[in-house]
Amino acid sequence: MSIASIAAPHRPPRRPWAWLWLFGASQLLMLALWWRFGWAAGLLAMLVSHGAMFWGTLWPRSRLFGPVLARLPTQARAMWLTIDDGPSDDTPAMLDLLDAYGAKATFFLVAERAAARPQLAREIVRRGHGIGNHSQSHPQAWFWALGPGRMAAEIEQAQAGLRAVTGVTPRWFRAVVGMANPFVSASLKKLALARVAWSARGFDGVRGEPDSVVARIVADFRPGAIVLLHEGAPHGNNVAIVEGVLRAMKDAGYVAVVPE
């Protein structure tokens, strides 16, 4: 199989506020149970409904608030490499590695960082890789809890900024730390962005031991896997980790494809 694009469902949210009606209905049900069966039943219903909202926000592959792609629909020995958090000092070396292995990837860029290093963002595009929206400023600690106004600004300003810097309009969005609260979907629908999660990760954003990180990712190699990688982490080993993943893919007969 040659390296090429692969068909994948590009599904922006269709009903970004459906969750609000469902949540409202669940609260009416809670009140009815409280009235009919007492406080214990009502409290249990409240915990279940609020727990579902937290699960939908914190679990990266949750579809509670809208579609999310976690695996490519193929049985071929092909995977999608996705690299978050750039551009960074690691970007040139990663581009050289991808060239050396004849691999393509999608870089989910932080728009503020792309604006600060426009030549790197444009070089990613020039070498034939994809660009994804990974927020305007990467508010790692609080992205999951942003309100509707700030959430819209993070996604929509990033879309405009990345288009201005690279000349490319991103089609894919990845939530910061993978956590997407109910307010994400409205902007995704407006911008025709589809949300992407992953099916293989090694926690390389925080862990810097190349051998153990690569081994964890390799354990999740599957046809159609979406591999989560990072660049620019403080531990300084992201380039070595990407090289290890590329080598393991080659040894296992996998190729890197992008659904662009």
Kind and range of the H or E element at 201?
A: strand 200-201
First to last CA, the chain: 17
Q: Which one-letter amino acid corresponds to residue 258?
A: V
- Best CA proximity match to 155, nearest among 132, 127, 188, 197: 188
Q: Is 84 a catalytic residue?
A: yes
Beta strand pairing status for 194-195 and 78-86? unpaired
Catalytic residue among 84, 85, 90, 204: 84
Cα separation values, 122 from 14, 45, 126, 155, Å: 31, 51, 6, 20
Q: Helix %, strand %, coil % for the chain, to 5?
A: 45, 15, 40
* Residue 56: CA count within 13 A, CB half-sphere: 20
Q: Is 230 a catalytic residue?
A: yes
Catalytic residue among 85, 90, 230, 251: 230
Burial call 40-76: b when 16+ CB within 10 Å, e when fewer: eebeebbeebeebbeebbeebebebbbebbbbbebee
* 66 φ/ψ sector (left φ>0, alpha ψ -120 to 50, else beta): left
**What DSSP assignment string belongs to 134-188?**
--SS--TTTGGG--HHHHHHHHHHHHHHHHHHHS----EE--GGG---TTHHHHH
Looking at the annotation, which residues are catalytic? 84, 230
